[in-house]
Amino acid sequence: MSGFSPNLNPVGSHVIPLVQSLGLVGGPVLELGAGMISTSLIHGMLFGTGRKIFTLEEHPSWVILARKYENNYHQIRGSHGTPEEILEVMKEFEVPHWGVCLVDHELWNVDGNYERRKDVVRELRDKCDILVVHDTEDFRFTKDSVWKEIDESFKYRWVYDEVLPSTTVLSNFVDVRRRKASPLDAVGEQAGKLS
């Protein structure tokens, strides 16, 4: 661990893994759960690249906030972000495979378990180059055997826990352990693709 405070800005603790993941691969991006930081970051970082962004958010107030980013390359939709709804979006917009998926939507189901995120990660494991899953220290603390089995079934994984809550990056396609030295390196690489 570096000199970061473990409790520094929990809302944006996934920024470094997200930026690096967006810089590693191309293709459309799926954001499950609109956020003050992630929605604007993804939108701005991919501006002018031709990459499509799909944000699915279940809370009406967050959908309204995210709508300011909606345009011809960034779609915002009110949705629970279930595997079935994700497959509908893939079919409707003819997305055969995602480049990056940020899994940061509602953590708990009504009964208080993590099934929604587990089901989504399980469904997207071979339909997405890189999955960026926020808030994963909760999974570690509960020692959830199903999450552990899913997590360990990926070929490549990186747990970013320099700032809490933790973010886990998973892939069967890209060695996510080969990260850039700085998230700004990934931004520079992405900008270079524009020229």
3 assigned to some structural domain = no
- Structural domain includes residue 194: no
Q: pLDDT per position in the chain (195 positions), as tens?
A: 444 444 455 678 899 999 999 999 999 999 999 988 999 999 999 999 999 999 999 899 999 999 999 999 999 999 888 889 999 999 999 999 999 999 988 755 555 555 777 888 989 999 999 999 988 876 544 566 667 778 788 999 998 888 888 889 999 999 998 665 555 555 555 555 554
In a domain, 2, yes or no: no
The domain of 129 spans 10-184
Domains held by the chain: number: 1
8 Å CB contact between 51 and 24:
no
User: 51 lies in a domain?
Assistant: yes
Rounded to 10°, the helix 115-124/83-92 angle is 40
Angle at 134 between CA 64 and CA 157, to 5 degrees: 140
Q: What is the CATH number of the domain that holds 107?
A: 3.40.50.150
CB 159 within 8 A of CB 128: no
Q: Hey, which residues does 76 pair with through a beta bridge?
A: 55
d(CA 152, CA 130): 15
